[in-house]
Amino acid sequence: MLLHGIISTTLPPPSLRLMSSINPRSATISAQLPTTNQFSISDQELQSRGFNLRHSITDLNLNHLNSVFVAVGFPRRDPDKIRVALENTDSLLWIEYTKTGRPVAFARATGDGVFNAIIWDVVVDPSFQGIGLGKAVMERLVEELLQKGISNIALYSEPRVLGFYRPLGFVADPDGIRGMVYSRKQKKKR
């Protein structure tokens, strides 16, 4: 399922809202959120619980991040390609568990830096799910994008976790807008 997200007080014309991805199992979600600095878990609370919020790839062990990707069902990725992807990422946040120094939550966004952004790779290590780390990362990433003036924010998600994004203000198929994905599958010749 394709999810598309727009966080905006005014939507762009329908001709400008087509989203695409190479992952046909994604979904399209939209959200309308005010800019706010109120987070469900403060930075201080995260620290008191043994977590550090990080905003760069400095000290991010890509093999450990890859382990989190695999643990949530993503395919194992080439670490060199992960590095290139992260170097071309506009905004990223990850949460480090201080006892191990390993990433336990991660999200990133790419875009044009002005109008549009797409959120990718939102993951929380299964051992740390259910304690608010995914919400903490998403709230901060969306806030960062809104502070940059970016109001058209899309995300791609597996259908089974759509319920996680709805309380954050995301909705599927706003105003009947549907996302599309490019597929290399060829039609069978008859």
Active-site annotation, residues: 165
* Residues in contact with 16: Cβ distance below 8 Å, sequence separation at least 6, in sequence order: none
Under 8 Å between Cβ of 72 and 126: yes
Q: What are the φ and ψ backbone dihedral angles of 10, each rounded to 5 degrees?
A: -130, 130
How many residues does this entry show for the chain? 190
- Separation CA 76–CA 69 (nearest Å): 7
Q: 92 in helix, strand or coil? A: strand
